[in-house]
Amino acid sequence: MPFAPRPDAMRTFLRARWKAIVAILVLILLAALTFSPSSAMPEASLATRLHTDVAAIASTEHNTATPQRLEQAAGYIENVLGSEGYKVRCQAYRAGGQTVRNIEVSVSNVAAGAKPERIFIIGAHYDSARGAPGANRIDDTSGSGTAAVLELARLLKDLRPSRGTEVKFVFFVNEEPPFFMGEEMGSMQHARKLHEEGQNVEGALILETVGYYSQARHSQKLPPGLEGRYPDAGRPDARTPDAGNFIAFVGTLESSKLVQEALSGFQRASDFPAHGLAAPAYVQGVTLSDHSSYKRFGYPAIMITDTAFMRYPYYHTAEDTPDKVDYASVARVVSGLARTITALAAGAQT
């Protein structure tokens, strides 16, 4: 005759099983909260914070011609990062007859006193062009791009990269003319210092304008020579073949591997439309960002952009103001990038 457990023994057994199941579910929830960066902030809340950041940084012109406003933008970035528990580092130097600075924080898994085996740069510049506030322009990402990097630093402050890896969040000064591609450009100063120190930069991901999207046909222009090839109308999320509704991962041919890795990682992490382009440096727009500074020193580097003047109707105008930014879309892009960066820093194969 089969053994039949007593009712009280069965109740005890079921209670123990139930407690074990609850414990496992709690552990799964904690793991999700720990390892999913986007779970730290719902996209609606993230959009609100992005709006606050853009308004604080990019409501007025801020560059070496308006040093007090440039200082206010830098101070805002430093205060936000400090409030998140980061140790803020500055790279100060002389430019245009005054002292300016890059701002940097990092997360790392590097032994004390040791040099990182690999570094990832996540960056944007915070100065504006002369004559416009710069909420979203390609040469003035002080609004959408800098806000996105600021929020990425918040989301990833507890990131645990693979052993030997450091992720730097860098805010550059002096990307705008008259400094662009000169020795006083902030990213040039930063890349040169890393090169002189013999640091291994495995990839620099530079955020340019990331705030303007349109579903309208003919809202997306393409560089000469690429007409009719891009974006791919076959994608289910590309609603029209020439709509400016996607984020682009762009680099020169030398950085084609990083373009593919970052794009593939983003497409796995997010359903936001995304496309990649690795092209010769002479293709219009491919080198118009701080990533060119890292390329100059032989480091793989790309820009992440909404394509700016090829889409944005307020480019280089005084109407480039914070109300033009699509914050809900930027929040989706930032959430996807947080997962992408996590995978890159963990050494995950893309």
User: Residue 151 and residue 237: Cα distance in Å, rounded?
Assistant: 25
For the chain, the first-to-last Cα distance in angstroms comes to 58
Q: Are residues 82 and 177 in the same domain?
A: yes
Angle at 333 between CA 329 and CA 339, to 5 degrees: 150
Angle at 85 between CA 83 and CA 91, to 5 degrees: 90
Q: Are residues 59 and 2 in the same domain?
A: no
CA distances, 103 to each of 49, 132, 134, 169 (Å): 20, 22, 19, 8
Q: Are residues 92 and 218 in the same domain?
A: yes
Q: Are residues 94 and 178 in the same domain?
A: yes
Q: Are residues 113 and 183 in the same domain?
A: yes
Q: Are residues 48 and 153 in the same domain?
A: yes
β-strand partners of 100: 93
Residue 157: give its domain's CATH number: 3.40.630.10
Q: What is the pTM of this model?
A: 0.83
Total structural domains within the chain: 2
Q: Are residues 240 and 136 in the same domain?
A: yes
Q: Are residues 5 and 83 in the same domain?
A: no
The pLDDT of residue 332 = 97
113 Cβ contact list (under 8 Å, min separation 6)? none
* Helix (H), strand (E) at residue 9: helix 7-35
- Taking only Cα atoms into account, the Rg of the chain, rounded to an integer number of angstroms, comes to 23
Structural domain span for residue 31: 1-35
Q: Are residues 3 and 109 in the same domain?
A: no
The pLDDT of residue 229 = 66
Q: Are residues 48 and 175 in the same domain?
A: yes
For 20, counting Cβ atoms within 10 Å of its Cβ (0-12 exposed, 13-18 middle, 19+ buried), the class is exposed
Sheet holding 274-279, edge to edge: 89-95, 98-108, 165-172, 118-125, 201-207, 301-305, 247-252, 274-279
Q: Are residues 11 and 107 in the same domain?
A: no
Sign, Cα dihedral of 297, 350, 109, 101: positive
User: Residue 106 and residue 272: Cα distance in Å, rounded?
Assistant: 27
User: Residue 330 and residue 326: Cα distance in Å, rounded?
Assistant: 6
* Helix (H), strand (E) at residue 59: none
The pLDDT of residue 181 = 78
Q: Are residues 204 and 243 in the same domain?
A: yes
Provide the residue-wise pLDDT of the chain in tens; the chain has 350 residues. Answer: 444 445 454 454 445 545 444 443 333 343 343 344 433 467 889 999 999 999 999 888 889 889 999 999 999 999 999 999 999 999 999 998 899 999 999 999 999 999 999 999 999 999 887 765 545 543 334 589 999 999 999 999 999 999 999 999 999 998 876 787 778 989 999 999 999 999 999 999 999 989 999 999 889 998 888 776 665 544 545 556 688 999 999 999 999 999 999 999 999 999 999 999 999 988 888 888 889 999 999 999 999 999 988 998 887 677 777 888 999 999 999 999 999 999 999 985 44
CA dihedral 127, 133, 134, 139 (to 10 degrees): -60
